[in-house]
Structure 1
Amino acid sequence: MKHTHKPAGEGLRTRVFQIIFESDTPLAKGFDIALIGAILVSVLVVMLESIESLRADYGTLFYWIEWGFTLAFTLELAIRLYCLEKPWLYLRSFYGIVDVVAILPTWLTLILPGGQALVVVRLLRALRIFRVLRLMQFVGESRLLIDALHRSLHQIFLFFFGIFILVTIFASAMYLIEPTEAGFTSIPMAIYWAIVSLTTVGYGDIVPVTPLGQAITVMLMLTGYSIIAVPTGVFSAQVIRAIREERYSDEACPGCGYDRHDTEARYCLRCGTWLDEKTIDPRLAKSGEGGKE
């Protein structure tokens, strides 16, 4: 994997750079794995601290462990900046921003108590495991999903706009039908109930009590079941289309017109015609050379 960052100079900075920013050596891989392990443990500590019983018994221990991780990550960031030729470029990169945001909450607790719960953002730093395990090649596959999502944005927007209109109609009807004691105190509250019912979640905090309202609720739930697959189908169709465009060429065979060839195909699958009209068929070139001889 190529890095856009460069070491600040020869000697110690270069050796540190190779350990921290690369993963080609056992020492570099060990550093990355240890860093990811520390990140996961630090987030686990924050999660355990949010449990009241554990916080009452081990609050002091959690506090010092968290500060230990914060100091370690602060030192690690300082070392990263020390070995870089242009440290400000790293601070402006995705990982640089995440590294800074990961240590800020604990330091901010000195000024704003309670901010340490935000250190769960450190989980983003675990994305470095892609570099350790050489999985960056799979990141390219996400282009298909992003492209499919981009293509289906208009259809999905129209779908949600239609759902909003439908929800507003049902909510307005329920606001007129149901008494305020049932929880339908306003149209916005009725819209909240309609969304919960349409998605078939059903929290139960707002429940219709009239027979007509219950009948409308049944209709709304059945409608939710019937349309829930619409955005999924639209997105799936775009994913299939993106995969086809990635795999198949849109150029037709000059011989038979067949247009379902792989992008790397040289000859037509049906008639065997040379597909690249801008170049000469190597078979014809070889036969011509043979005739000259």
Structure 2
Amino acid sequence: MTTSLASRARDAQPYGRPAAGLRLKVYTVIFEADTRAGRWFDLALIAVILASVAVVILDSIASVHARYQALFGALEWIFTLAFTLEYAARLACVQRPLRYARSVFGVIDLLAVLPTYLAAFVPGLHALIDVRVLRLLRLFRILKLTEYVHEFGALGRALAASRRKILVFMAFVMLVVLIMGTLMYVVEGPAHGYTSIPVGVYWAITTMTTVGFGDITPKTDLGRMIASLMMLLGWGTLAVPTGIVSAEFTAMRTAHEPTTRTCHECLSEGHSPTARFCSDCGAPLPPWQND
């Protein structure tokens, strides 16, 4: 189990072994959240991320923007510089910075700083691209939380472990809505708003998910009976993916809980606090620093 967790962690961060000296210390703070410095770093980054997203949201309100435009502009540059320094530090403390830059987290880090620089250094950008696009890109900073909050990682692992079951479930749902949407197209017809099979499938999806916008409703007795069956089926169907993911969470809780303790030779994580050697490469592990 330990080997499996360590291999999965190594696959998630294949950026090369950290350099020695100051770069190694920076790596320990940034990538190893189980150290005291790492915890403080994560908490500080979470606070900055939430504050920056709050500023973007408030700036989208016209009355608030008109009153605090200068303040929001200054805060935006402060947040951008902070994220830029963090991004540069991550690239500097690993031996394969290009691989990190192309990873999911690397792309998210770039999206966190790119909009502000684009608006500042590309003349006429606000005339070519609606400012709401830049706000949307800035809101991608919220995705950076997945790197610092353990529960996001647990959810991601549970979803990954149950992906085949979820795919089978989604295939079943698509089959049901296709059949029922086609049936409603035949039963109700264009006279009652079911002008095509895609429209019938749209109605089936909104009915199965118990949303029921009401823009398309059956008028015949047979159509209403089909709609009733779809709603009852939706109640039971929506509970399936919840049960699948919950079962994976339960299985993960009974498994070994990994740490972010990292081997500085092969970068594998998940080692026990009492381990002295890496379970993957056999190299000596640094002392446990969870104090």
| Coarse TM-score class (shorter-chain normalised) | 0.5 to 0.7
1:119 to 124, 127, 138: 138
Unaligned ranges ≥5, structure 2? 1-5, 255-291
Root-mean-square deviation over aligned CA pairs? 3.6
Q: Distance in 2 between matches of 1:71 and 1:105?
A: 12
Report if the CA contact (8 A) 2:108-2:143 is conserved: yes
After TM superposition, list the pairs within 5 Å mapping 1:9-28 onto structure 2.
9-10=20-21, 12-28=22-38
TM-score, normalised with respect to structure 1: 0.63
Return 5+ residue gaps in structure 1 as ranges.
179-183, 248-293
Alpha carbons of structure 1 residues 13 and 150: separation in structure 2 relative to 1, 3 Å: same
Structure 1 residue aligned with 2:112: 102
- Percent identity (aligned): 32
Aligned partner of 1:232 among 236, 239, 264: 239
Query: Which residue does the alignment assign to 2:182?
Result: 168
- 1:7 aligned partner: 18
Deviations 1:39-88 (CA, angstroms, capped at 9, x unpaired)? 11111111122223322322332232122211221122112222333222
Q: Which has the larger radius of gyration?
A: 1
Kept in 2, the 8 Å contact 1:20–1:28? The answer is: yes
Q: Report what 2:148 is aligned to.
A: 129
In the TM superposition, residue 167 of structure 1 has moved relative to its aligned partner by: 1.2
The answer for the alignment partner of 2:50 in structure 1 is 40
1:71 aligns with 2:81: yes
Cα distance in 1 for residues equivalent to 2:226 and 2:194: 19
| Secondary structure, aligned partner of 2:213 | coil
Aligned to 1:258: none
Checking the alignment, whether the CA contact within 8 Å between 1:105 and 1:119 is kept in structure 2 is yes
8 A contact 1:174–1:190 mirrored in 2:
no
Equivalent residues of 2:115, 2:137 under 8 A apart: yes
- Asked if the contact 2:207/2:231 (under 8 Å) is kept, the reply is no
Matched, 1:159 2:173: yes
Total equivalences in the alignment:
231
TM-score, normalising length from structure 2? Answer: 0.64
